Structure 1
Amino acid sequence: MDAVQYERNPKFQNSQFLGLMKQLRDREMVVEGDTMVPVEEASSTSGGWATEFQKSATDVKGKGRALEPLRMTVNESGIYSIGAQNRPTEFDLSGRSEVFGPAEEEIDAYFRTDNDDYINYWRGPESQGARFQSSTTPPAVLAEWDKLQRDWDIFEATTTGIKPISNYQFQANNPYVLGEASRHHNMHSTLSAASLELQSVLELEAAVQRDPYNATAWFSLGVKQQENEREQKALHALRRALELDSTHLPAWLALAISHTNDGNRRGSYEAIRSWVQHNVRYREAVEAYRASHGDMEDFNMAQTGNSDSLVECLIAMARSDISGEIDADIQIALAILMNTNEAYDKARDCFTTALAVRPDDWQLYNRVGATLANNGQSQDALQYYYHALELNPAYIRARFNLGISCINLRRYQEASQHILDALVLQDADVVQDPAEDGTENKRGVVSSALWESLKTCCMQMQRIDLATICDRQDLDAFRLNYQIL
């Protein structure tokens, strides 16, 4: 009974066989002769088998040899069998009828028939898989099991209770997960930020799957998805990084960037506020600012409706640094808030100030360009996009932004080329998944925004044929008709 206590198959749980075993275990039934009878109806004579059974079962002082209780064990084939401990089983569950002999008792025949059904259940087509399924299992039961499995996949137990885990969807059949070495494998033995920075999405997803509790790996994956114009995946990865390590300051700034790109002003504000609260370096400056501004009720955007108080706090943090050095992260945090408030001139100034500290940061060049473009200065934005691409030619977001600025400047042919290049780069992180019919299905994630923008270019160029291909999102057909080798 202990071995099968977690078995939930309805046929097994409701079987008379299991009921009899429970009654035997609980001493509610005993064997007299060739029948099983309730304890109260058993023979009460001193020599009765039932009396001896009860007596031996409770003999804890070693007086007399207790009868060995029936046990249910599992043989090498994974089949349950019933027998006494330290002796051969009395009932063979393999289905070989000759073990019962020619004079098979009625109760033995019952056990054999009922157990054969159970054996067939365990020997079903999915008996080697993680989940056993009987062909007679009701659909409602299977649906309930499927729901439980989905809940298991999306929830986890944490120190603060049960909560959903990151619902980041990994690409299936990732060659790096399946064993193919990363091109950076020999250069880096640990998962550091530097080693993860230039890896592909597939490599980073493999790194996360191998070490799912590494906040740095999740952060690097989120930033890479930002660069690859996959904002929702970036949000999932960055949130997971912060679930694992709420003190990871770069992840808070990256999350604020993703919320800004996603049009979530409240999310951007909260991410910057969390970055301030977890920033140990400026703790004294933040406490001093709060002390001079009362209980800081207006520090919450829900109270004020704007981020003025948080902007002032960031400025106080910058002024508190007496070293004379510029903290680029403070400038980035200020620029994000300025962008959400549509104060684009101030946001540009903050980003360019950060660039003075980090002149090789391609993300900052792209953000300056995007700020200029948002302010209606698409022509001025081009040079920043080009500079970002010089530093990182595989920067998909910069290529897409460059295409959008060209559309705004009515340079549709040039815009279509830039957007197509971005789609080709996105397609490079696609896993070929064999379909049931033998064909190859691409399971990578390509941005619908890129296809819609490319379709706009095609319509402006009077290329209806290419616009139709954009609707199908068929990259190979588009490149062929676009005369791209």
Structure 2
Amino acid sequence: MNPYVGHPNPLKEGQELFRKGLLSEAILALEAEVLKNPNNSEGWRLLGIAHAENDDDQQAIAAMMKAEEADPTNLEVLLALGVSHTNELEQAAALRYLYGWLHHHPKYKALTSLETPESFYHADVARLYNDAAEMSPEDADVHIVLGVLYNLSREYDRAIASFQTALKLKPHDYSLWNKLGATQANSVQSADAILAYQRALDLKPNYVRAWANMGISYANQGMYEDSIRYYVRALAMNPKADNAWQYLRISLR
């Protein structure tokens, strides 16, 4: 049962709940919106973002693909799909959407081919984004994508540098602090990752993904009691966060 079905403006309600960090409630309101207006790309996009922040990339991808169906040139959707597929280690799909972001961007589309290639190579897409960074060094989104691309190729030092450059341009972007933390964790820099995750939580206290990631970083340092507190907090906000349940079981062993 969804209490927001029949609400006069479920999109506005979902946006407000999302702003407050009430992600599970926001998801219900946004689901009511896309039931009411299935071609609303913004409704699907925000639903996808809410699922991603609630630590559910599969649901995020499903919602974002509906957003792309409604508006294939939505740059925020293409970027979010590239990030979510990277989180799922689906390189081919990630590269396709990240190339699509450049291809549809009014400032960078001249860098891409007139026709979309049948297959994408990491080195080629990374080269295009480096060209875009030279064109517009002040564009944080380009540096964010470079960080995502370097994560795909496991060049973590370069990914960290790209995210740090982006953070100089967008210091209050909580999701960007989380990306930096995740990359530092992948680079076996768990103590630094905890500082980055804390910045994300300072900016958005109900950010389920950052709570779960903080738990992982404590567990990676053998601090299992500390990790359990963070997993439990994540699960209190989203009992369906499968990753948090999985890692909690490991810490309890």
**TM-score normalised over the length of structure 2:** 0.90
Cα deviations by residue, 1:187-213 (Å, 9 ceiling, x for unpaired): xxxx9xx65752621122222222211
For 1:456, give the aligned amino acid: I
CA distance in 2 between counterparts of 1:209 and 1:349 reads: 41
For 2:123, give the aligned amino acid: D
Query: Which residue among 219, 225, 242 is the counterpart of 1:448?
Result: 242
Aligned with 2:89: secondary structure? coil
Query: Which residue among 185, 201, 210 is the counterpart of 2:27?
Result: 201
CA distance 1:315–1:413, change in 2 (3 Å): same
**Is 1:268–1:336's contact at 8 Å kept on the other side of the alignment?**
no
How far is 1:282 from its partner? 1.7
- Name the residue aligned to 1:478: none
**Is 1:196–1:204's contact at 8 Å kept on the other side of the alignment?**
no
Aligned with 1:263: secondary structure? coil
Query: Which residue among 222, 228, 244 is the counterpart of 2:70?
Result: 244
How far is 1:242 from its partner? 0.5
CA distance in 1 between counterparts of 2:196 and 2:190 reads: 10
2:240 counterpart of 1:424: no
Q: Which of the pair is proportionally richer in helix?
A: 2
Aligned with 2:238: secondary structure? helix
Query: Which residue among 121, 128, 135 is the counterpart of 1:320?
Result: 135
CA distance in 2 between counterparts of 1:217 and 1:382 reads: 32
Aligned with 1:449: secondary structure? helix
- Name the residue aligned to 1:389: 201
CA distance in 1 between counterparts of 2:8 and 2:176 reads: 33
CA distance in 2 between counterparts of 1:196 and 1:375 reads: 34
- Name the residue aligned to 1:282: 108
How far is 1:448 from its partner? 2.5
1:207-246 correspondence to structure 2 within 5 Å:
207-246=33-72
CA distance in 1 between counterparts of 2:219 and 2:237 reads: 20
CA distance 1:424–1:207, change in 2 (3 Å): same
- Name the residue aligned to 2:187: 375
CA distance in 2 between counterparts of 1:246 and 1:183 reads: 20
Cα deviations by residue, 1:418-445 (Å, 9 ceiling, x for unpaired): 0000000014xxxxxxxxxxxxxxxxxx
Query: Which residue among 71, 74, 79 is the counterpart of 1:253?
Result: 79
CA distance in 2 between counterparts of 1:174 and 1:337 reads: 38
How large is the RMSD of aligned CA atoms in angstroms? 2.4
CA distance in 1 between counterparts of 2:153 and 2:128 reads: 16
1:44-55 correspondence to structure 2 within 5 Å:
none
**Is 2:11–2:43's contact at 8 Å kept on the other side of the alignment?**
no
Aligned with 1:239: secondary structure? helix
2:2 counterpart of 1:174: yes
Query: Which residue among 215, 219, 226 is the counterpart of 1:407?
Result: 219
Cα deviations by residue, 1:35-60 (Å, 9 ceiling, x for unpaired): xxxxxxxxxxxxxxxxxxxxxxxxxx
How far is 1:397 from its partner? 0.4
- Name the residue aligned to 2:119: 300
CA distance 1:422–1:413, change in 2 (3 Å): same
CA distance in 2 between counterparts of 1:312 and 1:333 reads: 12
How far is 1:320 from its partner? 2.4
Aligned with 1:316: secondary structure? helix
Larger RCO (CA within 8 A; separation ≥ 6): 2
CA distance in 1 between counterparts of 2:138 and 2:241 reads: 36
Instruction: Tell which structure's C-alpha radius of gyration is larger.
Output: 1
**Is 2:10–2:32's contact at 8 Å kept on the other side of the alignment?**
no
How far is 1:182 from its partner? 6.4
Moved more, 405-414 or 202-211: 202-211
CA distance in 2 between counterparts of 1:296 and 1:252 reads: 14
CA distance in 1 between counterparts of 2:16 and 2:95 reads: 30
Aligned with 1:281: secondary structure? coil
Query: Which residue among 158, 176, 185 is the counterpart of 1:346?
Result: 158
Q: Which of the pair is proportionally richer in strand?
A: 1
CA distance in 2 between counterparts of 1:244 and 1:178 reads: 22
Q: For structure 2, list consecutive stretches of 5 or more residues without a partner in the other structure.
A: none
How far is 1:331 from its partner? 0.8
Q: For structure 1, list consecutive stretches of 5 or more residues without a partner in the other structure.
A: 1-172, 186-190, 428-445, 460-485
How far is 1:456 from its partner? 1.2
How far is 1:449 from its partner? 2.1
**Is 2:83–2:148's contact at 8 Å kept on the other side of the alignment?**
yes
Cα deviations by residue, 1:7-38 (Å, 9 ceiling, x for unpaired): xxxxxxxxxxxxxxxxxxxxxxxxxxxxxxxx
For 1:410, give the aligned amino acid: G
**TM-score normalised over the length of structure 1:** 0.48
CA distance in 2 between counterparts of 1:353 and 1:256 reads: 19
CA distance in 1 between counterparts of 2:125 and 2:210 reads: 29
Aligned with 1:220: secondary structure? helix
For 2:248, give the aligned amino acid: L
